Amino acid sequence: MGPKAVRQVERVGPYNRVLKAAPSTVLRVADIGDVPMRSRFDLESCHADIEEFFGSLAASDLVPLAVGR
């Protein structure tokens, strides 16, 4: 439920009391969704899909933040 919880944080508000800031006002961030998987039942293809997805992000000069297992 990690990704869902992160997506619902806007309901709580953008201000982070620990950081004493609203990160979304300082950083450019976007939820780009879940990693598309060819099959959730084949561990090797899941790893390949994850590596390809994050590789494309890195090639685009983006810094990913991943949540989940």
Confidence bin at 8 (pLDDT 50/70/90):
confident
Backbone angles phi and psi of 20, in degrees to 5: 55, 45
Specify the 3-state DSSP secondary structure of 16. Answer: strand
Q: Which residue has the higher pLDDT, 16 or 2?
A: 16
Is residue 10 situated within a structural domain?
A: yes
Q: How many domains does the chain have?
A: 1
Q: pTM value?
A: 0.66
Print the domain residue range for 44. Answer: 3-59
Q: Which residue has the higher pLDDT, 8 or 36?
A: 36
Is residue 29 situated within a structural domain?
A: yes
Is residue 65 situated within a structural domain?
A: no
pLDDT tens readout for residues 42-57: 999 999 999 999 999 9
Is residue 68 situated within a structural domain?
A: no
Is residue 31 situated within a structural domain?
A: yes
Q: Which amino acid is at 49?
A: D
Q: What is the mean pLDDT of residues 6-20?
A: 74
